[in-house]
């Protein structure tokens, strides 16, 4: 873990493969998962980058591929959804998906009933369950406890991971690093150098994979130690950095700015 990741470099010319987290990296967090929206400028920027990288761009996200498609409609980019339990390896292509374990929905029902608060949102994502407490921060500890108790009732092979203002329950194989490796094995990613931008605990594993592959790992708005070697202060800075390095369109970047210092 780096205590002080500092440099977010201007990338040299090269054959890059770009992996992007969505919430907290491309989109500012909102009160509810459905309360975010994608601007036309961001859509256009991603389309441009995808073309410039000959397709070597993929979302690596905790959202399902279906949820990502709704957000970015009509764009249907290469995507690893549900932390890599789902993959769309070609734009607009079929989605490979993991099966939902039979008891996940029942666990979701129980947690929902226990918290019995409109301010807590239980997001059912098939094999992954997210409990969101952004609107009720005082319930985070209680929600975490309930999810940990649910974990004990599941067969081996699951874990609990802190979300951004919430907590998620998922199979062990749901890991962003594995999702990045899956893309890196196939065209148009194979033979390129990975760049991964993320903002959260679940992205740390993706940073490690990116570092091991000799790539560039960038954490947005770090709140503590991170495996990422570089940081960017906020979403606006991340979009500005992407635009400067991969895009050719003017896009409103607002207040954020990438910080520079130590190299990889």
Q: How many helices (H) and strands (E) does the chain have?
A: 7, 12
Site string for ligand L263DTV3, 112-151 (x = CB under 6 A): -----------x-x----x-x-x-----------------
DSSP string, 123-157: EEETTEEEEE-TT-GGGHHHHHHHHHHHHHHSPSS
Q: Which residue of 2, 5, 24, 158 would you call a contact of ligand L263DTV3, by CB under 6 A?
A: 24
Using the contact rule CB under 6 A, the part of the chain among 37-45, 162-170, 227-235, 256-264 near ligand L263DTV3 is 162-170
CB of 86 to Mg ion, least distance (A): 16
Q: Binding of ligand L263DTV3 at residue 23 (CB under 6 A)?
A: yes
Concerning whether 21 is annotated as a catalytic residue, the answer is: yes
Burial (Cβ within 10 Å: 0-12, 13-18, ≥19) of residue 191:
exposed
Q: Binding of Mg ion at residue 204 (CB under 5 A)?
A: no
CB atoms within 10 A of CB 83: 28
- Cβ distance 1 to 256 under 8 Å? no
Give Cβ neighbours of residue 247 (< 8 Å, ≥ 6 apart): 45, 48, 49, 52
Q: Binding of ligand L263DTV3 at residue 163 (CB under 6 A)?
A: yes
Q: Binding of ligand L263DTV3 at residue 165 (CB under 6 A)?
A: yes
- Cβ distance 193 to 180 under 8 Å? no
CB of 23 to ligand L263DTV3, least distance (A): 4
DSSP letter for 162, please.
E
Catalytic residue numbers read: 21
Binding site for ligand L263DTV3 (CB under 6 A): 21-24, 29-30, 32-33, 36, 61-63, 123, 125, 130, 132, 134, 163-166, 200, 202
């Amino acid at each position: 873990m780096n205590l002080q990741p500092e440099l977010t470099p201007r990338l040299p010319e090269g054959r890059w493969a770009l992996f992007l987290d969505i919430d907290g990296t491309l989109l500012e967090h909102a009160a509810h998962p459905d309360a975010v929206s994608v601007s036309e400028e961001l859509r256009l920027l991603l389309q441009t980058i995808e073309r410039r990288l000959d397709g070597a761009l993929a979302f690596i996200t905790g959202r399902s591929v279906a949820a990502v498609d709704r957000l970015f409609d009509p764009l249907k980019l290469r995507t690893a959804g549900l932390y890599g339990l789902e993959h769309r390896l070609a734009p607009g292509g079929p989605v490979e998906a993991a099966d939902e374990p039979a008891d996940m929905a029942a666990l979701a029902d129980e947690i929902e009933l226990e918290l019995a608060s409109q301010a807590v949102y239980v997001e059912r994502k098939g094999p992954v369950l997210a409990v969101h407490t952004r609107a009720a921060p005082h319930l985070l500890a209680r929600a975490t406890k309930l999810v940990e108790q649910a974990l004990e009732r599941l067969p081996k092979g699951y874990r609990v991971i802190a979300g951004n203002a919430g907590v998620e329950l998922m199979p062990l194989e749901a890991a962003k690093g594995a999702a990045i490796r899956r893309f890196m094995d196939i065209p148009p990613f194979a033979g390129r150098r990975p760049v991964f931008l993320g903002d959260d605990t679940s992205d740390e594993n993706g940073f490690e994979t990116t570092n091991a592959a000799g790539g560039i790992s960038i954490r947005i708005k770090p709140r503590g130690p991170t495996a990422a070697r570089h940081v960017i202060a906020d979403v606006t800075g991340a979009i500005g950095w992407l635009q400067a390095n991969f895009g050719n369109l003017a896009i409103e970047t607002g207040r954020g700015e990438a910080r520079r210092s130590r190299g990889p």
